[in-house]
A and B are shown apart, each in its own frame.
Chain A
Amino acid sequence: MSDLEIDRLSKRYGKLQVLTDCNLMAEGGSVVTLLGPSGCGKTTLLRSIAGFVEPDAGRVMVGGRDISMLPPNRREVAYVFQNYALFPHLTVAQNVAYGLTVRRRPRAEIARRVDEALGLVALSDFGGRYPKQMSGGQQQRVAIARALVLEPKVLLLDEPFNALDAQLRLTMQVELRKLIDRIGITSIFVTHDQAEAMILSDKVAVMHGGQIEQLAPPLQIYDRPSTSFVADFIGRANIMPVQVRAGRTDTPQPVPTPRPDGPAVMIVRPENFEVVPGNVAGWPGRIGFATALGATIEYEVDCGMPEALRVSMARAPGSGPLAQGTDVTLRLRSTDGAIVLGRGAAHV
């Protein structure tokens, strides 16, 4: 199992800086997701690993070996395309065999390995079909088999679930993660869907404006976002400007922080707020909007700030939301759960 390491990779197209000093480390056999909005550079980064994009600076290392100078056909990294890019004039078996055929492997070996690969994705009986005769989910499995049959060192997947409907997507995500664990291959996914990143990854790299803003395990990204962009992109977040004085915020419930005195931002997840009646220490406000979602109740509370604060509370059986216009107080469930960041990290 080979590590994949990306070292200070940069790329510009004319005046547009697409990637800036991207660093990434994926340990052998682990799954890393490149997550970000469209245009953040995640696909360009993936394409540079495959060699489809030539970076201006930086290196790509697989198993400690620098592959930056190799042409795409000699990199031994497999790429699964967003639209699968199956060869329409070849059968499923011929598609899967393609990489072995161009390497001129003996015919018996090709047949055996194609059988194995198709078995791996549960398509053993479909070898004779053409891609056009397969469903979207089946086509995706063919693309994965075609990539894996070569026993590559790294598997790259560009939004592989985009073309599938919601039901199938979840099944395929779980199946793919199991398959990757079984064969133990270092994998890099590109996605703009945070739930997908949570399901699939050991580590998530959140990208924004051509940079990797944070690289960490999914829960750490959620609990300890390093910028307000990350906080807002992964899950929902209330972002409030605050002042730090003597190691605490100047908020109704002071939050301890190692930050120096001065302006800062505080990030509170909606589930870390609770709505309590009456006048206690906290943010006084008025219920602006309430939705009961079954398991939770979602409030928008107007606390005299430019944007209403969002609160998500577990719903007790039989209970309903408070009426619109009720005067309430917002309290932090845990002051440790609130995140205080410098103003510099506060771009959204």
Chain B
Amino acid sequence: MNGHNGFGDSGLDEDNFGESSALKAVKAFDVFPKTKPSYTEQTNSGGIWTIVLVLASIWLGATELGRWWVGETTHTFSVEQGIGHDLQINLDIVVHMRCEDIHVNVQDASGDRILAGNALHKDSTSWVQWGNDRKLHYLPKSKDERLDLSGYPGFGEYREEDVHNYLGAARATKKWPKTPKLPKHVFPDSCRVYGSMEGNKVQGDFHITARGHGYMEMGQHLDHKAFNFSHHINELSFGPFYPSLVNPLDNTVATSENHFHKFQYYLSVVPTIYTTDPKSLKKYTDKYHESPSSGEDGMKQHHKRYAKDTVFTNQYAVTEQSHAVSEMNVPGVFVKFDIEPVMLTIAEEWASFLSLFIRLVNVVSGVLVAGGWLYAMTEWAKEMRSRGRRQGNGGYEGILSPAGPSANGEKKGF
């Protein structure tokens, strides 16, 4: 140790100013070989190389940082906890029949019948008012059609789900749009049924049928010519009402010329949570509270109901079938839904700050080491080339010339 210090006497005098012996001892641990400036050589190519390496590590570090910033989206599933009771159904549908001619009901597995007609609003309207300037579409049949949800940014089928899209959409207005005013002298030929209602959280059948058909006790018989179950679905969703979240049946239209036509939809409802704060969600998920995904009742019991970072909702898968039926059957719009026991959680998580730091360190050091190696190899290759050339010239100098530094120096000439 002393020997080394002695060597560095001239240049490093100041190191010894007021230096304690403890610090001197620490000095012995220095494993990083530094060379006195007089023994090192700085070259032009080395400088350029350094700049390239720095740029490379900045670029890689920046992408790493970007990836960390975006976060990682995880999809987890679990069996739904808590004892369910109710399920909120949000509906906005326009049927091409007059309001007094239709009945809206839900019949479910518990044996209850829900007079949905009493819980929902009915507005008389005109069929032509719906569907002109609105982006309506038939339920997509082919894969291409499903993928082309150009009207809904971020919601295409195979697009990666960005939790923030859903959080943003959930924050938007929660009001039902107004029914457009009927123009003068236009006879209302359609009925808009809209609103939210609570059903039992069991398998059920939601249906719109004609007065006097299907349910025996209701009203008098309706003329078969008045039947027209063509309909627009503006909104059909389950759970808390988020009009901006797009569901598969939203803005779809189904038409038929037949008077006796049966439209059937089969829905599988999957409770879903979108969150950017999965860790705190853990604290609030317990079995004594109803799942907030089921609607207002469940939301009331939940601590996180107003949290900005979590959306409790339901997704659903739908299949559709429609066909003309004989006069012996009951025509109408039938929505059969069943609730899946497995709940999805789509969470966006950030890795810890420490792990980001480690990755950055790894990136930078990796680039430096690999870059140093590459530099040495390019230098070697160059030297080999120049040596070969000089040998070709027959000069003696080439063999005698010192290998390292001079080659570096000569490099500029090439």
Is B one of A's binding partners? no
